[in-house]
């Protein structure tokens, strides 16, 4: 039996096919009502979303939108973001997602670079920003606001509901929309997604419908999603990664569309912990920082325990750590350890999952940066496997993944087929409803069979980003750069929008894409990313040092919020460190250290000595030439607003080095 994600060549075709199938089922849920924020989550059915997309698309056609026109989407995540994107695709136009945190300069640059004919904005604040720069974007003809407007008589500004009404009332435009949608093929451009721009102006990555379809099939063609579709099990996800980022788009939107998931929207990045407890999602994709924060929070909670609670907690952590060693390499747990692990899950780990909103979590993914081995093992102890992937905007997200896949096909025997069903019964249906798989006798028996027959065939290696995805080739160049080829990777024919020279630079003569990352492949075919090619630190002694692993080790310390390693051309490594001020203020209060603000804290001798001890602990895990000889505490965090971070929270090292040049130079004085 063929499923819609296999038969439909376009995302918009898949969306309307799923809407026909699921009709009045809930597709999206968010704290929005009639386009405005509200206190309760409101449901949007598949049918309602499809009808709005159809009418909005017809309205855009009525405003003169032709196939191939570029339309910007300048909005925070919300159901109308998805509807707008589907409407744009259906007209044959090309959506250009823009981060809602963009500055006026960034917004102007992207609109002019892609020559956007229209812009869809999320709310009145973003509308005001768009109007400020409209005169500087000559190709821009009109703006649509997703939030209701009290007065939309101004010619270039159109209310969302008014445009839908116009589209609904125009039979000719509605007919054109249906015709254009039916004529779309895999070779048509689906979106232009701009890179983060860590080293200069962003580049527009042209991605086709075929690229998106290939990525969806990569994400869905693994054993667990296949079983979900086969058994018609539909779950709930929490979407909080920006949909304007390729990972958020493919994982939180396209994959869920293909699975028929109910997508719950987080209110914003700052409310994620509250949203987790409210939604208790079955599916969650995130950048590593969220998992790191949860790990830090649990460790902080553990420090406050005393007596028998502390002993019981420490025993469970030790048991989980030992059990995860077996599970990670696909080895069955020894019987005695299996029994301990069952009790640790029932009485400790299940409570932790409830505490953070992970008690119904079935599928967890991480991307955007490397996830540490400690974090991977910690969550594996809680019966949560975090799937890591690796990719870029140019590769439509993942080219490698450590999603649980079989090292070899399962034997075609009844017991193995049954074991797969029991895996779903326990790890999806039971855990997905908030119950521990170990809470019933039947669940324990099923888990025992799964651990014997299925688990040994899964291999996940912490610290690696998995094996090449379906139909994808990966190799390492002589200088260590990761090269890739596959159907999800943008083509040299389309490449970067209007930049054929830069497109040519990123492809080898034999058609492999140059990722710009340094990596290595082990004997089992697993890829490890060590650093960005342009970010390697070369000391004056000639040592090549990757800063990311050192920064990851620093960030694992609960008292460190951010860290940037320096040392290029110098004779030793130093670091700029932003403390976790919430914890440091508590520490200062306990020690009687007087302070008026963050500046006082980072200069207090007692605080500096405390961090010297923390850094020394981290140094013990590093090679001698990687160790941090000196550091400087900063009173202000790196942020997108102050220019040190990209919208995807990657560090702009050049900006940081320039901004803090005096502080860095003082570390080498």
- pLDDT, tens digit, for every residue of 511-525? 999 999 989 999 888
Which single residue is written with the structure tokens 């009332």? Answer: 169
Q: In the prediction, which pLDDT does 613 show?
A: 95
Q: In the prediction, which pLDDT does 151 show?
A: 66
What sign does the CA torsion over 432, 434, 437, 440 have? negative
Is residue 561 over pLDDT 60? yes
Question: Does residue 593 or residue 373 have the better pLDDT?
Answer: 593
Tell me the average pLDDT across 235-246.
Answer: 94
Tell me the average pLDDT across 475-501.
Answer: 94
Question: Does residue 238 or residue 453 have the better pLDDT?
Answer: 238
The residues pairing with 563 across neighbouring beta strands, listed in sequence order, are 577
**Domain covering 536-666, topology:** GMP Synthetase; Chain A, domain 3 (3.30.300)
| Helix/strand/coil for 559 | coil
Q: In the prediction, which pLDDT does 384 show?
A: 87
Is residue 153 over pLDDT 60? no
Q: Which CATH architecture has domain 236-457?
A: 3-Layer(aba) Sandwich (3.40)
> Nearest 5°: phi and psi at 328?
-65, -35
Q: In the prediction, which pLDDT does 15 show?
A: 98
Domain-wise residue ranges, the chain:
4-216, 236-457, 536-666
Tell me the pLDDT of the chain averaged across its residues: 91
Report DSSP letters for 93-145, one per residue.
Answer: -EEEEE-TT--HHHHHHHHHHHT-SEEEESSHHHHHHHHHHGGG-TT--EEEE
Report DSSP letters for 136-149, one per residue.
Answer: G-TT--EEEESS--
Is residue 1 over pLDDT 70? no
Is residue 2 over pLDDT 90? no
**From CA 179, how far away is CA 184, in angstroms rounded?**
9
Answer CATH for 4-216 from 3.40.50.12780, 3.20.20.80, 3.90.245.10, 1.20.1600.10: 3.40.50.12780
300, 263, 425, 281: which is closest to 353 by C-alpha?
Answer: 281
Q: In the prediction, which pLDDT does 200 show?
A: 65
Q: In the prediction, which pLDDT does 255 show?
A: 96
Is residue 552 over pLDDT 90? no
Going by pLDDT thresholds of 50, 70 and 90, the confidence category of residue 97 is very high
Same topology, domains 4-216 and 236-457? Answer is yes
Length of the chain as a residue count: 669
Residue range 315-371, pLDDT digits in tens: 999 998 898 888 777 777 888 998 999 999 888 999 999 999 999 999 899 887 778
Going by pLDDT thresholds of 50, 70 and 90, the confidence category of residue 376 is confident
Is residue 591 over pLDDT 60? yes
Is residue 23 over pLDDT 90? yes
Cβ atoms of 226 and 132 within 8 Å: the answer is no
> Which pTM does this prediction carry?
0.88
**From CA 10, how far away is CA 33, in angstroms rounded?**
29
Question: Does residue 224 or residue 121 have the better pLDDT?
Answer: 121
């Amino acid at each position: 039996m063929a499923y819609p994600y296999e038969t439909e060549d376009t995302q918009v075709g898949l969306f309307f096919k799923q809407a026909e199938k699921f009709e009045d089922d809930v597709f999206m849920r968010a704290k929005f009502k009639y386009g405005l924020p509200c206190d309760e989550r409101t449901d949007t059915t598949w049918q309602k979303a499809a009808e709005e997309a159809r009418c909005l698309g017809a309205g855009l056609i009525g405003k003169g939108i032709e196939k191939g026109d570029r339309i910007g989407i300048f909005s925070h995540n919300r159901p109308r973001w998805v509807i707008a994107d589907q409407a744009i695709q259906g007209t044959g136009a090309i959506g250009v997602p823009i981060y809602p945190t963009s500055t006026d300069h960034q917004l102007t640059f992207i609109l002019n670079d892609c020559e956007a004919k229209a812009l869809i904005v999320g709310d009145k604040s973003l509308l005001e920003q768009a109007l400020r720069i409209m005169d500087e974007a000559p190709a821009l003809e009109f703006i649509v606001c997703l939030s209701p407007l009290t007065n939309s008589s101004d010619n270039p500004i159109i209310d969302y509901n008014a445009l839908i009404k116009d589209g609904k009332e125009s039979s000719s435009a509605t007919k054109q929309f249906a015709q254009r949608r039916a004529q779309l093929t895999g070779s048509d451009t689906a979106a232009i997604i701009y890179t983060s721009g860590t080293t200069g102006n962003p580049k527009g990555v042209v991605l086709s419908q075929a690229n998106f379809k290939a990525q969806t099939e990569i994400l869905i063609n693994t054993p667990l999603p296949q079983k979900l579709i086969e058994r018609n099990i539909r779950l709930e996800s929490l979407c909080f990664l920006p949909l304007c980022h390729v990972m958020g788009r493919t994982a939180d939107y396209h994959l869920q569309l293909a699975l028929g998931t109910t997508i719950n929207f987080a209110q914003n990045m700052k409310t994620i912990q509250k949203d987790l407890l409210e939604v208790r999602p079955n599916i969650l994709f995130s950048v590593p920082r969220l998992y790191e924060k949860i790990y830090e929070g649990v460790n902080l909670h553990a420090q406050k325990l005393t007596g028998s609670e502390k002993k019981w907690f420490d025993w469970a952590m030790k048991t989980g750590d030992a059990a995860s060693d077996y599970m990670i390499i696909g080895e069955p747990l020894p019987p005695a350890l299996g029994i301990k692990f069952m009790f640790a899950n029932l009485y400790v780990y299940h409570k932790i999952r409830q505490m953070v909103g992970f008690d119904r979590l079935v599928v967890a993914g991480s991307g955007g940066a490397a996830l540490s081995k400690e974090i991977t093992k910690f969550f594996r102890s809680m019966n949560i496997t975090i799937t890591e992937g690796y990719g870029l905007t140019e590769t439509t997200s993942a080219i490698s993944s450590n999603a649980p896949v079989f090292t070899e096909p399962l034997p075609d025997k009844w017991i193995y087929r049954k074991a797969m069903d029991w895996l779903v019964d326990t790890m999806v249906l039971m855990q997905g409803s908030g119950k521990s798989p170990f809470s019933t006798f039947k669940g324990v028996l099923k888990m025992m069979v799964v651990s014997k027959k299925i688990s040994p065939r899964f291999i996940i290696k912490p610290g690696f980003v998995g094996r090449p995805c379906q139909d994808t080739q990966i190799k390492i160049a002589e200088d260590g750069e990761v090269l890739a080829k596959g159907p999800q990777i943008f083509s040299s024919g389309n490449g970067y929008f209007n930049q054929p020279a830069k497109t040519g630079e990123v492809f080898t003569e034999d058609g492999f894409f140059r990722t710009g990352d340094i990596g290595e492949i082990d004997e089992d075919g697993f890829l490890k990313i060590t650093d960005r090619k342009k970010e390697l630190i070369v000391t004056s002694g000639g040592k090549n040092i990757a800063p990311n692993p050192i920064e990851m080790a620093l960030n694992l310390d609960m008292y460190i919020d951010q860290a940037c390693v320096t040392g290029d051309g110098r004779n030793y490594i130093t670091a700029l460190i932003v403390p976790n001020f919430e914890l440091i203020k508590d520490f200062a209060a306990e020690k009687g250290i007087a302070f008026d603000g963050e500046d006082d804290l980072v200069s207090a001798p007692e605080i500096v000595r405390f961090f010297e001890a923390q850094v020394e602990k981290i140094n013990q895990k590093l090679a001698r030439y990687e160790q941090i000889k000196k550091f400087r505490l900063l009173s202000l965090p790196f942020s997108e607003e102050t220019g040190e971070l990209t919208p995807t929270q990657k560090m702009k090292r050049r900006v940081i080095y320039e901004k803090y040049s005096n502080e860095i130079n003082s570390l080498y004085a």
